[in-house]
Chains A and B, each alone.
Chain A
Amino acid sequence: MKGALISIVFFALLIAAWEFAARAGGVSQVMFPPPSSVAKYLWQSAADGTLESATLVTIKRLLVGYAVGLLLGIPLGLFTAKFKIFQDTVGVLALGMQALPSVCWVPLALGWFGQTEAAMLFVVIMGTLWSVIIATSDGVRSMPPIYLRAAKTMGSTGLHSWVRVILPASLPYLVGGMKQGWAFAWRSLMAAEIFVTILTGFGLGQLLHYGRELLAMDQVMGVMIILIALGLLADKLLFAPWERFLHRRWGTGTLK
């Protein structure tokens, strides 16, 4: 409660300082609009529906691509940890691909798929996949072998061991990898949306891009604020519950 209050006061002060600085002059208000103009833009574009529809388009691309990335990445990560052949192939590939900034996939995606949803999905999947594979296989490999031995003596074999022992034991790594994958996917999607108008849908990145074209910095800042808010929301909805579970069960995160 006290923490929330401190946060609110901090942000109120920050916004007030921004408003003051923008109005004090020296810089053109077109290039450095005060928060009141940004709020006005947000209000208007929300009222005419542009903001909502752009947000929906972007979130849909992100969630679908991210889900596909996880569905492919987790099993591939498990195989990489389990089978030498996967480790020597997919494992090495993932390590290399992870080093590649995911925005570098954008030109290729456009070449292959044109200005379509498929291109966007491809970029998001490439951003997610590799770090999820690596995190999963690292997680499995750092599991103390005693867990599996203990499970075996209790009659756990095959699929049961994977689902009930190996996956939950790797959970701390998995959640870390999922967060990293999310961050990569989010960044690459924004880059793609800013660079290219995708004919099948008008996302937040495109709003940013046209804000610049129109020299509407209130629009640019407004969309940036939405992006920040979405990032925070994703953290709260997607990852915070897992992290709370990890901290409670493993007894971590108490370092204060």
Chain B
Amino acid sequence: MNVERHLENASAERIEVDRVSKSFATKHRTVLALDSISLKISEGEFVCLVGVSGCGKSTLLNIIAGLEEPDSGRVLANGEPIAGPGRDRMVLFQEHALFPWLNVMGNVLFGLKLKPGLTDKERLEVAGYYLQLVGLEKLHHSNIHELSGGMKQRVALARALAPNPRVLLMDEPFAALDALTREQLYGDLQKIWQARRKTIVFVTHNVREAACLGDRVVLFSPNPGRIRKEFLVNLPRPRDINSVELAHYSTEITAAFKGFTPGEGREAAE
């Protein structure tokens, strides 16, 4: 059946960032947000990009999304250069970016309607599946303003997952949520990732969050934006953000932070 075929896991994608540089000109100076960054992300990997504000990690995410272009260098997805936004790479923004003129179901259907090869009935079925996956099966007809912050991010997650992308790009998606909601979402995201096996690039300034979610944590330093160090997190999933083993990793990462940003490190590692 068509719906089942659509729900089959899309093969995850390999991403290769090849010497990407990007600078922004402000009135007074030029900021080198990314200074010849190279990074390889393998299929189905969960990679967290960590750094203080302004280290270029969000810029890199936008470039992978195809929303911004690098000044030099290139990004390849499965060997093909990225030319613009594409359905195989979905983005989850810090602000949920849900459309207030549509209800929950309408939002999840938005991307699906742009995807050819499905009937309307099948689209409804697919959207329903993902709303259930994020635990909102009872809220199909709710308006966006009626939802809590956590629910909004869940809808945004369902909307991003529904067109069955190969890559999920997440830009501090939980930063605006309260701690309890966030912890719930860590668990849910890990479960969904294991079920739907995507390549995930997750940007955050929260070291603990990165250690909890990532297979690999990539540490950025600002001015100019560079990759400082990488950490592999070898812990079984699902991981609990409050576990002692995890604390060990986040201490290590934080220490590396302080090594190169004496002033800002403490703040970033909170």
Contacts and interface: CB of A to CB of B under 8 A. Distances in A.
B143 A251 contact: yes
Interface string B80-92: 0000011101110
Nearest to A251: B145
Contact of B91 (A153, A165, A251): A153
Contacts of A149: 67, 91, 93, 97
Contacts, number: 67
Interface stretch (A57-65, A85-93, A154-162): A154-162
Contact of A152 (B67, B95, B102, B145): B67
B97 A154 contact: no
A150 interface: yes
Contacts of A248: 143
Interface in A227-256: 248-251
Contact of B100 (A152, A156, A249): A249
A88 B105 CA distance: 40
Interface in B58-101: 65-67, 85-87, 89-91, 93, 95, 97, 99-101
A165 B87 CA distance: 17
B93 A150 contact: yes
Given A169-B101, A250-B145, A154 B110 contact: yes
A164 B107 CA distance: 11
B235 to A, nearest CB: 31
B111 interface: yes
A151 interface: yes
Interface string B34-66: 000000000000000000000000000000011
Contacts of B91: 149-150, 153
B270 to A, nearest CB: 26
A151 B103 CA distance: 15
A170 B20 CA distance: 36
Contacts of B87: 154-155
B266 interface: no
A154 B107 CA distance: 11
Contacts of A153: 65-67, 85-86, 89-91
Interface residues of A, number: 21
B93 A154 contact: no
Nearest to B89: A153
A1 interface: no
Contact of A154 (B90, B101, B143): B90
Contact of A147 (B85, B97, B143, B163): B97
A146 interface: yes
Contacts of B95: 144, 146
B228 interface: no
A151 B110 contact: yes
B248 interface: no
B176 to A, nearest CB: 13
A165 B99 contact: yes
Given A160-B114, A249-B143, A155 B85 contact: yes
B111 A146 contact: no
A254 to B, nearest CB: 10
Contacts of A156: 110, 114
B146 interface: yes
A168 interface: yes
A171 interface: yes
Nearest to A146: B97
A118 B97 CA distance: 46
**Which of A164, A168, A249 has most chain B Cβ within 10 Å?**
A249
Contacts of B101: 168-169, 171, 249-250
Interface string A160-186: 100011001101000000000000000
A154 B67 CA distance: 12
Contacts of A151: 110
A162 to B, nearest CB: 14
A149 B99 CA distance: 12
Nearest to B68: A149
Interface of B: 65-67, 85-87, 89-91, 93, 95, 97, 99-103, 110-111, 114-115, 143-146, 159, 163
Given A146-B93, A155-B115, 16 more contacts: A146-B95, A150-B91, A151-B110, A153-B65, A153-B66, A153-B85, A153-B91, A154-B90, A155-B86, A155-B87, A155-B114, A156-B110, A160-B114, A169-B100, A249-B101, A249-B145
A-B complex: 10 closest residue pairs judged by Cβ atoms: A251-B145, A154-B111, A150-B97, A168-B101, A155-B114, A152-B85, A146-B97, A153-B91, A153-B85, A155-B87
6 contacts: A149-B97, A153-B65, A153-B91, A249-B102, A249-B103, A251-B145
